[in-house]
Amino acid sequence: MSVVLVTGASRGIGRAIVTRFAQAGHTVIACARGQQGLDALQNALPQVVCVACDMRDDVAVDALAQRVRAQYGGVDLLVNNAGAFRPGSIAEEDDGVLLEMLQANLFGAYRLTKRLLPHMIERRSGMVLNICSTASVAAYPNGGSYSIAKHALYGMTRNLREEMKPHGVRVVALIPGATHTDSWAGVNLPVERFMPAEDVAEAAWMAWNLSSRSVVEDIVLRPQKGDIGEADFQ
């Protein structure tokens, strides 16, 4: 069985991915910023290794990578899911929002990936799966710095894929649209307008289970009724 590390793992898409891989018997390391969410995950899935880590903290990310390397040698699958959403427009948002969104959605994934890649390169196998967003590939009103950061994560994914091809390491961009998670808490829309997080986890599972000779470069998932837009709130 493989060693899988999932960031942002205590809820939503991250938790669904943790559950899917843990129930299949893989060794899963789940990290998240909030201890309460990790405790709930641990109670539900005692076999999962839960580690508190704020992906915006360079020291914490380095400590996580060091712990994983010391205990497991490395990971076979890294799922960079941790992130944060803050709507706004570029013209009106505070100057610090861009750095905040980059730290939450890009910098931690970049740093952790760099720390764990040597093991994959040495073994000539493994996968980095980045949870992007439809905001990574399409502009929309009120996207602001969040959309900029998600575009950057997608750009990192594409560039890393080209770099890793000679080393046998697969790099996947999983690009979901509106998913029924806490990010949409308080939005007065029917559940049918959202995808279940379990469907996104199933897409990750599918990408992982292809042979080493194949890679799904981009997986775009949207609600069957389409993206949520201004018309949904009228």
List pLDDT tens digits, range 80-133.
999 999 989 999 999 999 999 999 999 999 999 999 999 999 999 999 999 999
Alpha-carbon distance of 82 to 234, in angstroms, equals 31
Average pLDDT along the chain: 94
Q: Which of 72, 110, 140, 146 is catalytic?
A: 146
User: Is there a contact between 219 and 173 (Cβ–Cβ < 8 Å)?
Assistant: yes
Hey, what domains does the chain have and what are their CATH numbers? 3-229 (3.40.50.720)
Q: What pTM was computed for the model?
A: 0.93
Mean pLDDT of 122-145: 94
Alpha-carbon distance of 193 to 190, in angstroms, equals 6
E-assigned strand segments in the chain: 3-7, 27-32, 49-52, 77-80, 127-131, 170-176, 218-221
DSSP state of 172: E
pLDDT, tens digit, for every residue of 2-37? 999 999 999 999 999 999 999 999 999 999 999 999
Q: Give the number of residues written for the chain.
A: 234
pLDDT band at 230 (very low <50, low <70, confident <90, very high): low
* pLDDT of amino acid 181: 74
Active site residue 146: yes
Mean pLDDT of 215-229: 90
Alpha-carbon distance of 19 to 154, in angstroms, equals 25
**pLDDT tops 70 at residue 150:** yes
Alpha-carbon distance of 222 to 66, in angstroms, equals 36
**pLDDT tops 70 at residue 231:** no
**Nearest alpha-carbon partner for 212 in 164, 154, 176, 177:** 164
Alpha-carbon distance of 154 to 130, in angstroms, equals 8
